[in-house]
Amino acid sequence: MNIYVGNLPYSMDDSELQKAFSEFGAVQSASVVKDKFTGRSRGFGFVEMPDAAAGNQAIEAMNGRNMNGRPLVVNEARPREERPRQDRGPRY
């Protein structure tokens, strides 16, 4: 089960995210999404849990949980919708 985790503290890294969710079961992967230019956290990430029951339990428990003064937004991740690429005009 792929889980979206939003409103993360900007100081949180992948290992801290994994540790936070591991209390509910096995965590296959945990990643905080970072800005590709600055390398800073964008404030959200994804956690992959192989057991759907543990994933649902984690969503219930973690949604709204206060993490460093920020209430987390946690739900099942939805597949990215295909968006047409923006034409940004000619590059000189």
- Segment 67-92, tens digit of pLDDT: 999 999 999 998 877 666 666 666 66
**Total-model pTM:** 0.85
Nearest CA among 9, 75, 18 for reference residue 42: 9
CATH number for the domain whose boundaries are 7-36+45-74: 3.30.70.330
pLDDT of residue 81: 75
